[in-house]
Amino acid sequence: MFIAHGERLQRWGPWILGGVLLLLVPSFVVMFSPSASIKQQRSELPTINGKAVNLADFQSAKNVVMTEIVFSSGRQPPRTLEYEDQLNIEAVQRLILLRKAREFGISAGEDEVVQQVRMLPAFLNEQKQFDPDRYQRYINFLNNLGISEALLAETIREQIELSRLRALVATAAKVTPAELKLAYTPLHEQTTIDYVEFDGADHKENFTVKDDEAKAFYDLNKEKFRKPAEAKVREVYFTISEARKSITLGENEVGEYYELNKGKYLDDQKKPRPLADVKDEVKKDLLDLRAARLAGDRATGFSVKLVHEPGAARPDFAKIAADFGLTPHETDFFSLRGAVASVNAGPQFNQAAFSLSPEVPFSDPVRGEDGYYVLEYLASKPSEVPPFDEVKELVVKLLQQQRARDAAVKQGRDLAAKVKEAVVTGKNFSDVCASVGLKAKTPAPFTIAQDTTNLPFANRIKDMALGMPTNAVSDFILTANGGLFFHLIQRTPPTSEDFEKNRAQLAMQILERNRQALFEDWANGVMRDEHIEYKRKAHPRQQESPAEEAEPAEPSAPAKS
């Protein structure tokens, strides 16, 4: 075995956990079956400098690439010709890079592999120590599927070698002071703008909607009017506040709880405060804990009474509730994501309700803000699109709102073009806006790197502002209710103090980016020099035009009659 005496896998945790799911799929084993025609395989091999790669070496590289993909993706790979082409190309590239690594004297020994894998979280126990039993169970599982421990070891070994190759090549990457300054300044300079906003709600015109227009709008946007599925339940609530009334704490209990939880009651020096100083706090914490536990126990006892014995009548929820001194409450119909009146719980309440049915009418205890709910199924309604007559009023309202927004957008685009043209000729932005009846707003200065601002549609404004000169007017930006355009007044460079404070972190980020780019350039050069030839199995797809940034979605509208 590649790890003796219980010393097993560690570093590649996300791969291993994802692989458990994928290795269950028989097609993964079939992929490595030797039943395929050797002759056909040889005819499909990639070539390096005009010579076909060694079949055994290529298949080995392909197996390792597949193993990496399985472990890193956590899902079954697509079984397509495009995917097979990508797998083959990555395998031959891997062969070349590993050969380069060994030319540079890079290798990884068994001890290094063991050291890398011994701390894998998937095989650590609760004390964060390696658990050989967990590892061995997994290895046995893989062996039953025809996946050897050696393949896992080889995958990790090659990853170590390729990582070292990357580090070796990337050592030549540098970050110059000018590059650092150039990367920092545009993102952190203070930008001041004026903007003019256009909102459909400001258009008070009477947008008359005819019946046939409303019906056409409805037919084009039926899904917009779909009602979600709804449920109705009966519930009882075992509250912590009520349970607290029946709990009495002894002094010994308070002392024992304090001794077990001293770490919760530290002073400024991170030392436990004396019990006398925190006694009230300790009592409250212990009382809260006991009350929550008691409420949960009562809810569990209630739900046990609801267990339906085969052949017996369905338990009477209301009667059992009365035995517990509780009065059930019925909810109105509610959706999976909707609020439930008089219920103090999060989405877990809705999820529990929607898991119920006539066949499974009772829930387990569901945690609320002050205790535990137990639910009984009453009724449900499927999701449906209501008929036009039922939602006609809403259809008309939405169509009117859309037309108001369209009017705001048209007005905004026309005026933005006029203002931009005037500013280009040297006129003052505010004066031009005033002359056409517009009032500009001036928000607080902001930086591109700033997470929160008071800007409307901030990301689009930042994207445009990044490449704009001062005293320029932006193009019109669509927003949910209309749109806006802005005037870039000035930029104030960041202070040297701010730059120095962030220099080290930024330098590391840029250096890592440069290292990545340098290695990719070097690797691409190596591949070109090797003159790789591979006949793809799948026809190349046509290159699609890059999609423009999506504008705010709006429902389709029929043409005005």
Nearest alpha-carbon partner for 117 in 4, 3, 20: 3
Q: What is the mean pLDDT of residues 257-262?
A: 90
Mean residue pLDDT of the chain comes to 85
Asked whether 169 and 47 are in contact (CB, 8 A), the reply is no
Q: How confident is the model at residue 537 (pLDDT cuts 50, 70, 90)?
A: confident
Higher pLDDT, 486 or 155: 486
The residues, ordered by sequence, that sit 6+ positions from 27 with a Cβ below 8 Å of its Cβ are 76, 79
> For 63-67, 75-79, 165-169, 501-505, which range has the lowest pLDDT when averaged over its residues?
75-79
Asked whether 130 and 11 are in contact (CB, 8 A), the reply is no
Nearest alpha-carbon partner for 349 in 334, 329, 328, 327: 334
Question: Which element (helix H / strand E) includes 51?
Answer: strand 51-52
Residue 421 φ/ψ, nearest 5 degrees: -60, -40
Q: What is the pLDDT of residues 402-425, one digit of tens each?
A: 999 999 999 999 999 999 999 999
Q: Are strands 51-52 and 47-48 parallel, antiparallel or unpaired?
A: antiparallel
What is the rounded CA–CA span in Å between residue 175 and residue 504?
11
Q: What is the mean pLDDT of residues 119-125?
A: 75
pLDDT tops 70 at residue 375: yes
What are the b/e assignments for 63-79, b being 16+ CB within 10 Å? bbbbbbbbbeeeeebee
Burial (CB < 10 A; 0-12, 13-18, 19+), residue 429, is: buried
pLDDT tops 90 at residue 214: yes
Q: Is the dihedral of CA 459, 465, 471, 475 positive or negative?
A: negative
CA 5 to chain centroid: 40
Q: How confident is the model at residue 11 (pLDDT cuts 50, 70, 90)?
A: very low
Q: How confident is the model at residue 40 (pLDDT cuts 50, 70, 90)?
A: low
pLDDT tops 50 at residue 309: yes
Q: What is the mean pLDDT of residues 174-181?
A: 90
What is the rounded CA–CA span in Å between residue 262 and residue 126?
21
pLDDT tops 60 at residue 529: yes
pLDDT tops 60 at residue 507: yes
- What's the pLDDT score for residue 327? 95
- What's the pLDDT score for residue 129? 82
Q: How confident is the model at residue 556 (pLDDT cuts 50, 70, 90)?
A: low
> For 10-14, 48-52, 72-76, 161-165, which range has the lowest pLDDT when averaged over its residues?
10-14
Q: Domains of the chain (ranges plus CATH)?
A: 13-170 (1.10.4030.10), 177-185+497-530 (no CATH), 186-209+390-496 (3.10.50.40), 227-381 (no CATH)
What is the rounded CA–CA span in Å between residue 88 and residue 338?
49
Q: Is the dihedral of CA 542, 546, 552, 556 positive or negative?
A: negative
Asked whether 406 and 551 are in contact (CB, 8 A), the reply is no
The residues, ordered by sequence, that sit 6+ positions from 214 with a Cβ below 8 Å of its Cβ are 388, 392, 395, 396, 399
Q: What is the dihedral of CA 100, 106, 112, 116, to 10 degrees?
A: -50
Q: What is the mean pLDDT of residues 226-243?
A: 96
Give 473-531 as a DSSP string: BPPPEE-SSEEEEEEEEEEEPPPHHHHHHHHHHHHHHHHHHHHHHHHHHHHHHHHHHHT
